[in-house]
Each structure stands twice: as C-alpha cells, then as structure tokens.
Amino acid sequence: MDLQVHSVHFDADRKLIDFVNKRIGKLELYFDNIINGEVFLRIGNPSEPENKVAEIKLAIPGKDLFAKKQCKTFEEATDLACEALRKQVKKYKEKKRA
C-alpha cells in the first residue's frame, strides 16, 4: 500500500510518521486490496484541549473510505480513525461477499 502522510502547518517528527504508517499498515490484515492511503494531520483551534485532528482516506477497489477524528494527541486521533476505518473495511467486505 502506498501511504502519504501530510502534516498541515507544522512539521511532524519521524516518530509520529512511523506510528501512523505502522497503525494504518495493520488495516491490511483485514483487507489486503488497499490501493493507497492519505493521512492529513492538522492542529485545530489552539484554545481547545482536544485540537489534534487526524483525517485518513483509503482507496480500495470501487470505493474510498474516510475517517476523521479529533483528540488530545495525534496518536489517539490516529488510533480512533483507524478503528473507524477497520469497521468500514469489515462492513465493505461483508457487503461484497453477500
């Protein structure tokens, strides 16, 4: 899977990018036909404590899946978005089988 990570208005460190790659790579355990993925990490309203936003878009054959989560840390937001995508992938596979 080809994965692009974009950090908007800040420079993400290597540790964060590696975490995102590892976490999204686990989605291939559930569906191995993921074509590519795009991740946008951005900082929202600075006055809010939960201002870290992770948006993930996955391209699979015939469909695009998307999840957006906002939390206190990018790691937590990425985890929640990946969990939402995992549910979408499972649902897509069940529909495809039926």
Task: Please report the pLDDT score of residue 97 as a whole number.
Answer: 87
Read off the pTM: 0.92
pLDDT higher than threshold 90 for residue 3: yes
Strand order from edge to edge, sheet including 63-71: 2-8, 36-43, 52-60, 63-71
SS3 43: strand
Digit-coded pLDDT (tens) for 22-71: 999 999 999 888 999 999 999 988 888 899 999 999 999 989 999 999 99
Task: Please report the pLDDT score of residue 47 as a whole number.
Answer: 86
pLDDT higher than threshold 90 for residue 80: yes
Task: Please report the pLDDT score of residue 91 as a whole number.
Answer: 94
Which domains, and CATH codes, for the chain? 2-97 (3.30.160.100)
Please list, in sequence order, all residues whose beta carbon lies within 8 angstroms of the beta carbon of residue 45, skipping any fewer than 6 positions away.
51
DSSP at 46 = T
